[in-house]
Structures are given as structure tokens and as C-alpha cells.
Amino acid sequence: MPVTAWAHSSAVEQIMKMAKEDNRTMEHLDILCNRFGGRLAGSYACETAEKWAKKCFEEWGYDVKLDKIGDMSVGFSRGGWWGRATGDENMVLHFATPSFTSGTKGPQSGHVVLEPLSQIEFERNKARLKGAWVLIECPTKVGYALPRGDSKRFVTRRDAILKQNNELAQKQGRYIDRSKMNKSLPCLLYDQMVEAGVLGFIRSTPAPLNALHDSLVVRRNHTFEMIPTVPDILLDEEQYARLHKAASERRNVQLEFDIRNYFRPGPIPYHNVVAEIKGSKYPDEYVIVGAHLDAFDVSSGGVDCGNGVAAVMEAARMLSVAKARPERTIIFILFGGEEFGLLGSKAWIAANKSKLDNVSIMFNRDSGPLPYVGFDVPKSLVEEYEKVAEPIRQIYPEYNFKIGVAEPMERPNKPRTADHYTFRYWGIPASPLNMADSKGYGFDYRKVRHTERDDYQSVFPDYEEQSAPVLAIIALGTANLSKKFPRDEFFK
């Protein structure tokens, strides 16, 4: 069926009807965020979400499988986290911990000390370090765990800084001037402080709090036994400044933290959820629609990338209910392990090398919970896509969905940022479609992504509900084009 006839087919009409009358996008998002929560690879939430998504696709009649990407060396899940300051400073503490870092041993309270920056300072303060929360002054990479490890490069650098500080402290003698010390690396005396009995480390971080992961556990496969035993706390910078002042003045401040971070021994497998509807005319040609199922767990991943998963799943459901018969095969992929380095898209490519030449285009929804406002396509496809877009403009005139002409783009020299770059890297056309904050809600992706604000509430239902039927119509329209995406027009 040529696209012109397709645009008025009963399947498309049915999707247009469902867009307004039976749109379940927000229901999927509710389950992802509010039942499962943050879904990092290696978490119970991730395993549950994978199973749930598979079951949904099955119920909608898809051929679906969990494709293993790899194993996490340990599993990690969060309970709640609370903290407060008492004494000279009284406040409920606003903080987070990176994932794959330690929690407390029940509620633990203690006084506050500044991190010793030299061996001499450590020896002088050793008794005070026992049972203390240690404030780290060195700037660190936002969101990540404290740098540590036993790599030669790391140890050499740390020891050089420590040596420099030791010599300076020696010269300074009785009164140590901390402002002169080298503070380019935190926790120079990490092991000694832990041995001395510190309760944990506290760093300053801007709000909204951003909490990522410990890359030694995640990327270097640290085992259950190698996990640090004390918490690594990222505290709101305003509160940190108050505590730092109090500690510098040696005032009486007590902190209590109760952080429930749970590990389990691995290996814990994680997967891509892959659902397929066979093409009626070109079963060996593919249109891919994807989003990533994993999400950081400082919040519940509504924006990055729950909104993408919800829209992709609802698009799949709509196509199934509408009994769409695409001419090319449509593959829906919920990628795993995106946040740990696009692991799911890289794994799919590696396992499907024979299909790559026959992928027409990959659509990825992972740039925020915004509505679709257009699609820039190679010149030779503009006319056909004008037809494809007709029903979209009809249901959503307010978003003024436009087909534009795409200039050929440079192929990226490595996969980065999001799963569609993995496809582009391999020479496969891939697009997030054009999105915009059309109604001016003031959405700023950078202020939500990977922060405590990334939850169900950050997704605008009207925007989000538009995205699923648009994805469904674009995917079906693309599967029924007269030809595959011309790669020589897509790339330079």
C-alpha cells in the first residue's frame, strides 16, 4: 500500500481516534516511575521493569525477547535516605548519594570535622576522626562517587599531592594553613580515615542534586567485597557552607544520617527488551523505535527516559490495537544500560551486524518530555512524508507538525550522548524527530536530567500524550515508504 493510501487507512484512523480517546501513555509512565522507580542496571527495579515491559508487549501480540547485554558485578537498590543537623545548626539535610555507594549502618550520628590534607594533620586529628562525618573541600566531578582505586595512575597522582602537602605542613609547623594546601584530589588519606573510624564523607553539590554512580563498581566490575563501607554523601551546597563554617569554627554540630543503600552479589544480568512486528512486504527491512529503560535512581526517571519508554510502548500498543500491517518490520527496543555508556544500543548493533544494512532508520525518544513538532527528512522523501504527516496535523493542529529538508550530516566519530548516536556511528540513519516546548512551559532538560527532579511530575501529560500517536504514525509511515532511507542523502 503506497503511503498516500496508507495515510487514510483504517489503522491510521484508529490511531487518530485512540490519540484522544484511549491514550495510555501516562499510565505506562506512572508504572515506570511510581511503582518501579529509578531503574539502573543491576537494580531490582530494572529487573522488574524489564519483565513488565516484556509482558506488555506480549499482551499486545508482539514477538518479544529479553536480549542479554551483560552482567553487573554487583546489584544495587535504594531504600530511603534521611539526615538532620542538630546543635548549633539545626536543619533537615538535603542530600543524595551516588548509586553503587554505601549506606549507613542504621541511623548514625556524629560530629563534623574537616578532611585532613596532610599526614601531620591526620595524626593530630586522629582521635577526632573516630565517629565523625568528614567534610571534603576538594572540588569533585558533580554526581560521581569519590575518586578512589588502586590504578597506578591514580595512586601516583594521589601520592604526589600528599607528599607535597606533607612537606608544606612540615614547614608550617604548629599552625597549619589549609588554604595553601593542594586540594585538587579529595580523600588523600581515605584508607587511614576509614581505619580511624570515620562515619562517612560529605561533599558540596549544587541543587537540584545530581547523583550518578561509582564508576569503579559499574565499569571496572568491582565485586561485592570491594565496595566501600562508609557513605559518600552529596550535600546541598548551601547547607554544606553552613556546616563547613561551623566545623572551621569548631562549633558543636551533630549530624545524623540514615541511608538505605543495598547491595547484592552479582552477576546480575540486564537486557534490551526487543519487540517485533513483521513486515508484510519487506520483512527483512527494519524501522527501529527506541528509548532506554534504565534510569538513575536519585529520582524515578520520568524524564530520562521514562517518557521515552512510555511513548514507545504506547505507540506499539496503538499499532497493535489498530491492527496495523507495516510493509517493513518495525522493531521496538527498550535499551538497557544506556546511562552506563550506551551499552544496550552497542550490544544490539554487535548482535545484529547482518541486519544493519537493512535498517531504514532508527527513531530515539530520549531528549526530554516534549511534543513532536516536525521531522527533517532527505529531499527525496519530503513529498511522501508530507502525506505521512497529514493525520498528525489533523489530530494536533496546535503543534504545527512540519516536514523539513534535512541537510546531510556528519557521521559521529564515536557513539556518545544517546543511543541514536550509536546507530549514526555505524552509518545508520537515526533521528530523535524535532521537539519543542510549544506551549512555553519553560522546560529545561539540563535542570532535570540525572537530578532529584527527574520524576513523574516533571512530565507534561499533554505533551507526552501527543508523542505516542505521532511515533506510531511516523513509524508506520516510514515502514510503508516507497524506499528505505537513502543513506547517501542522510550522511555527508
Residues that bind Zn ion (CB under 5 A): 304-305, 366
Query: Looking at beta carbons only, is 304 or 390 nearer to Zn ion?
Result: 304
Give the burial string for 334-351 (b: 16+ CB within 10 Å, else e).
bbbbbbbebbbbbbbbee
* Least distance to Zn ion, CB of residue 301, Å: 9
Query: Looking at beta carbons only, is 104 or 300 nearer to Zn ion?
Result: 300
* Least distance to Zn ion, CB of residue 82, Å: 28
* Least distance to Zn ion, CB of residue 152, Å: 33
CA-to-CA separations, 492 to 19, 438, 488, 489, in angstroms, rounded? 37, 31, 7, 7
What number of other Cβ atoms are within 10 A of residue 111's Cβ? 18
* Least distance to Zn ion, CB of residue 129, Å: 40
* Least distance to Zn ion, CB of residue 304, Å: 4
Query: Looking at beta carbons only, is 45 or 377 nearer to Zn ion?
Result: 45
> Which residues are paired to 76 by β-bridges?
263
Peptide bond into 269 cis (omega under 30): no
CA–CA separation, 252 and 258 (whole Å): 20
Query: Looking at beta carbons only, is 304 or 452 nearer to Zn ion?
Result: 304
* Least distance to Zn ion, CB of residue 434, Å: 18
Rg (alpha carbons) of the chain, rounded to whole number: 26
Query: Looking at beta carbons only, is 202 or 309 nearer to Zn ion?
Result: 309
* Least distance to Zn ion, CB of residue 127, Å: 47
Query: Looking at beta carbons only, is 81 or 372 nearer to Zn ion?
Result: 372
Query: Looking at beta carbons only, is 38 or 326 nearer to Zn ion?
Result: 38
* Least distance to Zn ion, CB of residue 305, Å: 4
Closest CA to 227 of 298, 152, 149: 149
CA–CA separation, 19 and 335 (whole Å): 25
CA–CA separation, 476 and 479 (whole Å): 5
Query: Looking at beta carbons only, is 314 or 419 nearer to Zn ion?
Result: 419
What number of other Cβ atoms are within 10 A of residue 444's Cβ? 10
> Which residues are paired to 133 by β-bridges?
112, 200
CA–CA separation, 336 and 373 (whole Å): 27
Contact in structure between 426 and 487 (CB atoms under 8 Å): no
Count of positions (residues) in the chain: 492
* Least distance to Zn ion, CB of residue 88, Å: 42
Query: Looking at beta carbons only, is 47 or 366 nearer to Zn ion?
Result: 366
Q: How far is CA 14 from the centre of its chain?
A: 34
Set of cell numbers at residue 207 = 541543587
> Which residues are paired to 434 by β-bridges?
374
Closest CA to 72 of 294, 305, 290: 294
* Least distance to Zn ion, CB of residue 366, Å: 4
CA–CA separation, 232 and 211 (whole Å): 11
* Least distance to Zn ion, CB of residue 423, Å: 15
Query: Looking at beta carbons only, is 29 or 395 nearer to Zn ion?
Result: 29
Query: Looking at beta carbons only, is 417 or 482 nearer to Zn ion?
Result: 417
3 state SS of 261:
strand
Contact in structure between 277 and 11 (CB atoms under 8 Å): no
**What is the dihedral angle through the alpha carbons of 58, 62, 63, 69, rounded to the nearest 10 degrees?**
-70
